[in-house]
Structure 1
Amino acid sequence: MSEAQFKKAVEIVGSLPKDGPVKPSTDDQLYFYKYFKQATIGDVNTTRPGLLDFTGKAKWDAWAEVKGTSKEEAWKKYVERFLAILEAAGDDASKKHIEEIKAAA
């Protein structure tokens, strides 16, 4: 996967309508989060949030799971997961998004 394909996938994920046919699960969202952070920042570089910040801890833990992953591998994992979600949806908009991602160079 190229950086351009990763950026296109990130753009599309960020613009998905809440009531649209493609609804990434909570697990998918954490997956995208951890690989986005790994691809754009690298290894987790903050302290783990406190006890009462459940969402923050889940995000931090997810990101920490992929410590040492290269940005290229993070791009690949992010894009592959999103393409699988789009392919499963199978609607016309999803097919268009798949074409856009694959065409990005």
Structure 2
Amino acid sequence: MGVEEQFKKAVELIQGMPKNSPVKVSQNDQLKVYSLYKQATVGDVNTSRPGMLDVSGRYKWDAWNKLKGKSSEDAKKEYVQAFFEIFEPYKDDAEFAKYLEEVKSLA
């Protein structure tokens, strides 16, 4: 058990969150989670920067590119940390407390 299992569970829970979830994730946190996921699973950016009209794509690419050189292992650790930062304010909600405990138990 360890970072790999925590990372997989955190990814599963974040990707499975319904759009109408009470968890409010800022755009900066969304970009952080996206870029850490890409760095952890793909490595350094391997595509060209999207064009000017693809504003969302440019933000994502820029966030990912800032992580250039970060190891997969470090990106996974930071992703798990970001997961806890996002869900910790909701720890009094039984559902989200369960999510936090599921990921913590895999350490």
Q: TM-score range by the shorter chain?
A: over 0.9
Q: Which residue of 2 aligns with 1:104?
A: 106
| Runs of 4+ that moved beyond 6 A | none
SS class of match (1:68) = coil
Which runs of 5 or more structure 2 residues have no equivalent in the other structure? none
Q: Post-superposition shift, 1:22?
A: 1.3
TM-score by length of 2: 0.92
Residue 71 of structure 2 aligns with an amino acid whose one-letter code is: S
> Residue 75 of structure 1 corresponds to which residue in structure 2?
76
Equivalent in the alignment of 1:92? 94
Aligned pair count reads 105
- Say yes or no: does 1:15 pair with 2:10: no
Q: How large is the RMSD of aligned CA atoms in angstroms?
A: 1.2
1:40 CA displacement: 0.1
Matches of 1:84 and 1:51 in 2, distance apart? 32
Structure 1: unaligned runs, 5 residues or longer: none
Percent identity between the aligned chains? 52
Q: Given the two structures, how large is their TM-score scaled by the length of structure 1? A: 0.94
2-structure distance, mates of 1:24, 1:52: 25
